[in-house]
Structure 1
Amino acid sequence: MNDDIGRVQRQENELMLPSFDEAIAFEIGSAIRSRALQDGLSLVVDLRTWDRQLFFSATPGTSADNAEWVRRKINSVRRFQRASYRLVLERGEAPFSPQSGADPADFVIAGGGFPIRVTGAGIVGALTISGLPGRDDHGVAVDALCDHLGKSRSDYALPEITS
């Protein structure tokens, strides 16, 4: 578990974009959508800056619930400035306590929200996936950033969980 936390922190720190705008959001989002359609994955993908959505797509098999999960994951990434899957690893998947001020109606501890970090600017938005188990949602986001940046997926992927 601690190894996974360290790996996610490395992903967050090293999968940094040199810039982020509408064209880059479209490129990354379109690549995720193409992969989902090719692999038969039912997922929603959202890329945004904190002030607006730049890309949204849903593939067959998703529902309004996926978009709601995306909204809550985005809120968690923004508030805690980390991947939502790192919150799972650090805290478990139990809802936030009332004392946290993070109302479960608006925040969720579930994988799939990933901070978009831009060189020289810090975290400017989020890449969020919903539709697969949380660890897999997280993996789709990481794979897409690796592909966009020309980095090896295997260098950043979390290890497979064997049951």
Structure 2
Amino acid sequence: MNLQTDIQRIQQQEETLRFEAFDFDTAWELGNAIREIALQEGKGVVIDIHRLDGLQLFFTALPGTNPDNLNWVRRKANVVRHFQKSSYQIGQDLKARNTTVTEAHGLSDADHATHGGAFPIVLKTGEMVGVVTVSGVPQREDHALVVKGLCKVLDQDHDTLKLD
């Protein structure tokens, strides 16, 4: 795994995986797509979708999860809200610069987790309208589940967007 290659691919994912519109039905479709993928792959995860105003549009917890996953969801989503980029991209960028979110930005680890799994919900206009977050498996797999679900809902070729 090459950090710079990952960062570039994640940026490509964020530019490509954008919605014409995002509403309650779209959130339901995305959440269920990720849920089905997680079930097929046997991954116990929490899936959470929130609008930026805080309204929760989708939530599910699959077998194998625990209350700690809820805190991880909150902390990862806070990173996306702050930077308007995926939590994994921020984490990989900080790792490449050999620093932390606290050192580089003064944000507390108690409220911010720069681990993979939270992804901005962005319209094609560039407006960020929400956050989709997965927690329960290693961070690269959390991120991959979100990307797979987004690709499915947005009819994008996952093979061209996935991380190596």
Query: How much has 1:3 moved relative to structure 2?
Result: 1.3
Once the two structures are superposed, residues 125-147 of structure 1 have per-residue CA deviations (whole angstroms, 9 ceiling, x without a partner) of 11110011111111110111111
Shift of 1:100: 2.7
Number of residues of Structure 1 aligned to a counterpart in Structure 2: 159
For the 8 Å contact 1:94–1:109, the answer to whether it is kept is: no
Indicate conservation of the 8 Å contact 1:22/1:54, yes or no: yes
- Report the CA distance between 1:98 and its aligned residue: 6.0
Q: For residues 55-134 of structure 1, what are the structure 2 equivalents within 5 Å? A: 55-92=58-95, 95-97=100-102, 100-120=105-125, 122-134=127-139
Hey, what does 2:41 align to over in structure 1?
39
TM-score, structure 1 length as denominator?
Answer: 0.92
Task: Letter of the 2:71 partner, please give it.
Answer: E
- Relative contact order (alpha carbons < 8 A, sep ≥ 6): 1 or 2 greater? 2
Instruction: Confirm whether residue 25 of structure 1 aligns to residue 27 of structure 2.
Output: yes
Aligned partners of 2:16 and 2:106: how far apart in 1?
30
Over 4 Å off, 4+ runs = none
Unaligned runs of 5+ in 1: none
Q: TM-score, normalised by structure 2?
A: 0.91
Q: Which residue of 1 aligns with 2:149?
A: 144
Residue 117 of structure 1 aligns to which amino acid in structure 2?
Answer: V
1:72–1:107 contact (8 Å) kept in structure 2:
yes
* 2:6 equivalent in structure 1: 4
